[in-house]
Amino acid sequence: MAKIKGPLMSFDASGKLANSLVFMKWKGIPTVRAHVKPSNPKSVGQTAQRTKMSDAVLYWHDPLQTATDKSAWNLFASASAAVLSGFNQFVKTYIDLVVSGITYVLLHTFGVTDNANQTCTIDVSADQGGYHMYVKYGTSKNALINSELMTDDTDNSYSFTTGALIAGQRYYFQCYINHPAIDKGNTTGIIDLVVA
C-alpha to C-alpha distance for 143 and 168, rounded to whole angstroms: 18
Mean pLDDT score of the chain, rounded to an integer? 89
Express each pLDDT in 59-80 by its tens digit.
999 999 999 999 999 999 999 9
Expressed as residue numbers, the domain containing 143 is 44-194
> Mean pLDDT across the stretch 172-195?
88
Is residue 148 located within the same domain as residue 57? yes
Within-domain flag for 39: no
Is residue 131 located within the same domain as residue 112? yes
Is residue 17 located within the same domain as residue 106? no
- Number of domains the chain contains: 2
> Mean pLDDT across the stretch 26-50?
84
Express each pLDDT in 87-130 by its tens digit.
999 999 999 999 988 889 999 999 999 999 999 999 999 988 88
Any alpha helices (H) in the chain, and if so which ranges?
A: 44-60, 67-78, 86-99
Is residue 80 located within the same domain as residue 177? yes
